[in-house]
Amino acid sequence: MMIAEIIVNSSAQELNRIFDYKVPEGYEIGKNIDIGYRVLVSFANYKSLEIGYIIGFKETSEFKCKTISKVCDRSFDEKKFELAKWMAKRYFCNLSDTLKLLVPPGTSNNIDKIKIKYERWARLSKEYKDVVNNHNIENSNYKIKSPKQQRIIDFLLENDEIPTSILFDVTDTNSTVLKALIERGICEDFQLEALRNPFLTKHIKKTSKLELTQKQKSVLDEIKLNEFSEYLLYGVTGSGKTEIYLQLIEKVIEQGKTAIVLVPEISLTPQITDRFLGRFGRVIAILHSKLSNGERFDEWRRIQNGEAKIVIGARSALFAPMKNIGIIIIDEEHDSSYKSETTPKYDARDVAREIAKSYNSVLLLGSATPDVRTYYKAKNTDAIKLLELDERISSFGLPDVQIVDLRNELANGNKTVFSNLLYNEIKKNLENKEQIILFLNRRGYSTFIMCRDCGYVVKCDNCDVSMTYHITKNKLMCHYCGAEKKPVSICPQCGSQNIRYFGTGTQKIEAQINKVFPEASVIRMDVDTTSTKNAHEIILNKFRDEKIDILLGTQMITKGHDFSNVTLVGVLAADSSINIGDYRAQERTFQLLTQVAGRSGRGDKKGRAIIQTYMPDEFSIITAQKQDYLKFYNQEIKIREKLNYPPFCDIMIAVVIGKKEAEVIDDANKIFDIFKNHFEVFAPMPAPISKINDNYRWRVLMKAKIDESKIDVINYCLADFDSQKSKDTKLSFDINPNNMS
């Protein structure tokens, strides 16, 4: 009797160990059971069966073992299992947390949640076709009098077999007519699996590869396939990085290998998917959270079956069951969405590197505004080879960028959100039938509500943050926990009616555009307008195809989009990302401004961009105006080195969370005491947002240069803390987190 070593699907720290179960009779390792299979097991005193993952086998066990209740499917192979173990250690979580990433979408907590979809098909029976082939219908029992029945027969004679839904539609018949033919032995129906196709409504034009510029050819020739190597492709906006991706993947596919392409935003996926579909056809699968569970499940199975050779998606696409991977491409590699903020808190770039090593394949990072840490590594080590495209393909070059000092606008009596320059340029574009993108990285209508008599600000009852007014719902909303309130007209603190709505979000801007430019059509793209299925694609297609004048949006409109008729970009408030209490504030400001300015002038007309700000002397804004990444980088890296910030160290943040503030503070001090002997540790403090969803939050910040030995020390310290902590608090631990709050 063989024993299977199983990890139970649980995030509880005490269950992060191996449990032994007997392999059922009739199962043989390597045939119908192996490492990577999901199973259902009876666990402890739980009434329901629990999901487990087989990670090994042995001949005997020192424990009295139960037998596996059900063997399900194989979710991962040995390579992916090694990756899961590496991630569990590297990101300080249970092995089950990383194994969940490797299973088909929507099934990690319930194996039977998603069903395989089947479709009814129809065809002529063999007996009837034999009679037809012998030209003996007149002397058979198959004479047809019904015109509807004859239409079905005629259609099937020409089309062999077909889904009944199409058959009924084309022949104007129904299931009753088909049933009569089946009863007479003329037809038969059967089931076939029907894959849910996310591309079903797309109309894709076949495209051919483009002629490369000399600089593109040089870059393409530099990249050596069939060996592990990592490249950073630093190319200005519009320099043709995507065409290089396409031609590299074509080479990989010709070698019989596969490719993974990551994009940072779901909103980018439709545009890049269309381009890849036009070049490669249906060998592409897409994976992102806006697909239905059924669509993601079927795309996953197409990948697993080898039908898909190219996977495009957000960071989770890394864990698709691809075999023989030849290249992994991470587009817009600087983007913060490549870092997970939920357990396991992995960085997609680091995980992609491990995968590329295991397949001896290429990892290609691309960006017009590379992450400072990545660029530093490319410039100062042999780990990443730097490739550069410093010119746009368009003969008009990069857009002209102007900065408007909003302090001067106020001094001249202009209190609107549109500077005189931006107003005039918008009018000019509208007259010329050219399109405009306006960027504001705040959604909602008003960002906070305050009593002008006593200074009271309406805050969320559960979180230590102000609530945002959303005019479409006529409600105050918390952007952290989702709580809602009715708008306030009387101050609950002093009873005053002198309530004022401050700040501006995209909803208010949309209303002001309609008022100031009544002749213009406008479409808004933010979290509130893109919550439904395919909403991103619908909005972008409307803007492009229906020639809507103005696209207004938040960060999701700043990168990757290519609209040939956009000749003007307006940044309404460039300061919003500078004062966020994060050492990367200047970097993120530069990236946002450069990326959004780069949406302008990508066709056959010169582009312009206008940046409105109250802080025109900030170096991130000045260098973004010049679109000079190297100048920005050289200044930023000096500051980072002086203050010992990444890439010269790594920043770790431990956040203790709980309902009772005294317990949270006590545990934060325990963290401090445990780690202070190993790392540079700063005293516990309330987190910048000290309360979220009715939980108090204290944090401990640490610095160190992380390597494998430090990872071992951190895991040791976390185990020590886990043995001492209050049972009612939780710990969130992260290295180089996106969010310092």
Could you report the per-residue pLDDT of 597-636, keeping only the tens digit for each? 999 998 889 999 999 999 999 999 999 999 999 999 999 9
The pair phi, psi for residue 298, each rounded to 5°, is -70, -35
Greatest mean pLDDT among 255-259, 490-494, 581-585? 255-259
pLDDT band at 249; cut points 50, 70, 90: very high
Strand partners, 733: 654
**516 Cβ contact partners less than 8 Å away, ≥ 6 residues apart:** 416, 418, 423
**Residue 193: pLDDT band with limits 50, 70, 90:** confident
- What pLDDT, on a 0 to 100 scale, did the predictor assign at position 417? 92
* Contact of 262 with 329, CB cutoff 8 Å: yes
Label residue 16 by pLDDT band (50, 70, 90). confident
pLDDT at 415 exceeding the cut of 80:
yes
**pLDDT at 133 exceeding the cut of 90:** no
Average pLDDT, integer, range 689-696: 92
- pLDDT > 70? residue 200: no
Query: Two tokens at 219?
Result: 């870059």
Q: Which backbone phi and psi does 44 adopt, to 5 degrees?
A: 50, -130
Q: Is the pLDDT score of 581 beyond 90?
A: no
Residue 335: per-residue pLDDT: 93
At residue 237, the 3 state secondary structure works out as: coil
User: 428 to each of 400, 403, 436, 605, 698, how far by Cα in Å?
Assistant: 16, 18, 10, 14, 52
704 band by pLDDT with thresholds 50, 70 and 90: very high
What average pLDDT does this structure show over 186-210?
Answer: 80
- Greatest mean pLDDT among 361-375, 465-479, 602-616 lies in 361-375
In the prediction, which pLDDT does 108 show?
60
Q: 680-681 and 685-692: which strand pairing?
A: unpaired
* Share above pLDDT 90 across residues of the chain, in percent, rounded to a whole number: 66
Q: What is the dihedral of CA 415, 417, 422, 425, to 10 degrees?
A: -110
- Which stretches within 360-405 are classed as H helix? 372-380
pLDDT tens by residue, 259-306:
999 998 776 667 788 888 889 988 999 888 778 888 888 888 889 989
Q: How does residue 392 score in pLDDT terms, banded at 50, 70 and 90?
A: confident
What stretch of H or E contains 50? strand 50-58
Would you state the pLDDT for residue 268?
A: 65
* Beta strands 284-287 and 310-313, pairing class: parallel
Residue 309 pLDDT > 90 = yes
Residue of 359, 336, 357 whose CA lies nearest to 348: 336
Neighbours of 156 (CB within 10 A): 22
Q: What does the pLDDT look like over 53-73, one tens digit per residue? A: 999 999 999 999 999 999 988
The pTM (predicted TM-score) of the whole model is: 0.85
Is the bond leading into 518 cis (omega within 30 degrees of zero)? no
pLDDT at res. 734: 95
pLDDT recorded at residue 246: 96
Q: pLDDT (tens digit, 9 = 90+) per residue, 536-570?
A: 888 988 998 888 999 999 988 887 788 889 999 99
Task: Indicate if the pLDDT at residue 688 is higher than 90.
Answer: no
667 burial (CB, 10 Å; 0-12 / 13-18 / 19+) is buried
Nearest to 720 by CA among 676, 679, 670, 683: 670
Q: 292 CB contacts (<8 Å, ≥6 apart)?
A: 196, 533
Return d(Cα 662, Cα 647) in angstroms, integer: 35
Of all residues in the chain, the percent with pLDDT exceeding 70 is 97
Structure tokens given for 500: 């004022």
Cα–Cα dist 6/41, whole Å: 9
What value does the mean pLDDT take over residues 381-393?
Answer: 94
What are the start-end ranges of the H helices in 114-240?
Answer: 126-133, 147-159, 164-171, 175-183, 214-222
Instruction: Give the pLDDT of residue 545.
Output: 87
SS (H, E, C) 670-711: HHHHHHCCCCEECCCEEEEEEEECCEEEEEEEEEECCCHHHH
User: Quick one: which of 643, 647, 716, 642 has its CA closest to 679?
Assistant: 716
Q: What is the pLDDT of residue 250?
A: 96
pLDDT at 110: 62
pLDDT at residue 710 in the model: 95
- Position 500 confidence tier, pLDDT thresholds 50, 70, 90: confident
Residue 113's pLDDT is 65
Are 227 and 294 in contact by the 8 Å Cβ rule? The answer is no
For residue 504, pLDDT over 70 is answered with yes
Q: For the segment 76-96, what is each residue's pLDDT rounded down to a tens digit?
A: 999 999 999 999 999 999 999
Mean pLDDT for all residues in the chain: 91
Return the sign of the alpha-carbon dihedral for residues 609, 245, 314, 92: negative
Confidence of residue 669 (pLDDT cuts 50, 70, 90): very high
pLDDT recorded at residue 698: 95
For 365, the token pair is 């990072």
Q: Rounded mean pLDDT of 407-422?
A: 93
pLDDT at 114 over 80: no
Helix (H, G, I), strand (E, B) or coil at 146: coil
pLDDT of residue 634: 97
Predicted confidence band of residue 111 (pLDDT cuts 50, 70, 90): low
Smallest Cα–Cα separation from 6: which of 31, 41, 49?
Answer: 41
